[in-house]
């Protein structure tokens, strides 16, 4: 679902924490409350996830702060469901706050952070064929006269982006 920063007030109850998480992670609505929080322990490239035990009333802001200290990341793990991990369309709610940029190949507006991924898979319109409807009249014999601008076919240039 991606990394997000959420400010959980110390006085927040389980219902408020669930609401905050569902506002940021829209796919959590499918879980119907069946999720647990885990924290990462250890280092050296491998981290073991350990359960952050909820209080009797569920997760609370004070309980999270006490067990986690406000440092590091917490991970949301579904209990009974599997979340749909297919890529979201660029029009999804998760991308609303992101700035958009227009793809030069297909003219679609894509979230700026995803533009490089889009460019790799973008279906570019074929421009290999030069459309020359007006150049049939041009005599290529001994004439030294250059064709007028209306007789020169439109040429579209295909560019390749440089990726360092």
Find the domain containing 96 and state its range: 87-125
Q: What is the mean pLDDT of each run of 10 residues along the chain (164 residues)?
A: 75 88 77 78 73 86 80 76 70 77 87 84 59 48 50 50 53
Residues 14-42 as b or e (16 or more Cβ within 10 Å = b): beebbebbeeebebbeebeeebebebeee
Is 62 found in the same domain as 20? yes
pLDDT value for 70: 66
Is 92 found in the same domain as 73? no
Is 23 found in the same domain as 70? yes
Is 25 found in the same domain as 70? yes
Is 66 found in the same domain as 100? no
pLDDT value for 116: 85
Is 44 found in the same domain as 71? yes
pTM of the model: 0.51
């Amino acid at each position: 679902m991606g990394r997000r920063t959420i400010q959980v007030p110390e006085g927040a109850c389980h219902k408020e924490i669930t609401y905050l998480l569902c506002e940021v992670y829209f796919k959590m609505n499918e879980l119907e409350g069946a999720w647990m929080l885990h924290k990462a322990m250890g280092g050296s490239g491998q981290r073991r996830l350990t359960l952050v035990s909820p209080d009797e009333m569920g997760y609370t802001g004070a309980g999270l702060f006490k067990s986690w200290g406000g440092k590091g990341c917490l991970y949301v793990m579904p209990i009974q469901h599997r979340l749909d991990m297919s890529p979201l369309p660029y029009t999804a709610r998760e991308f609303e706050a992101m700035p958009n940029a227009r793809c030069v190949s297909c003219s679609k507006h894509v979230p700026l952070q995803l533009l490089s991924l889009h460019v790799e898979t973008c279906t570019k319109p074929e421009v290999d064929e030069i459309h020359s409807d007006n150049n049939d009249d041009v005599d290529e014999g001994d004439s030294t006269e250059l064709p007028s601008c209306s007789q020169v076919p439109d040429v579209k240039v295909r560019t390749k982006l440089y990726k360092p």
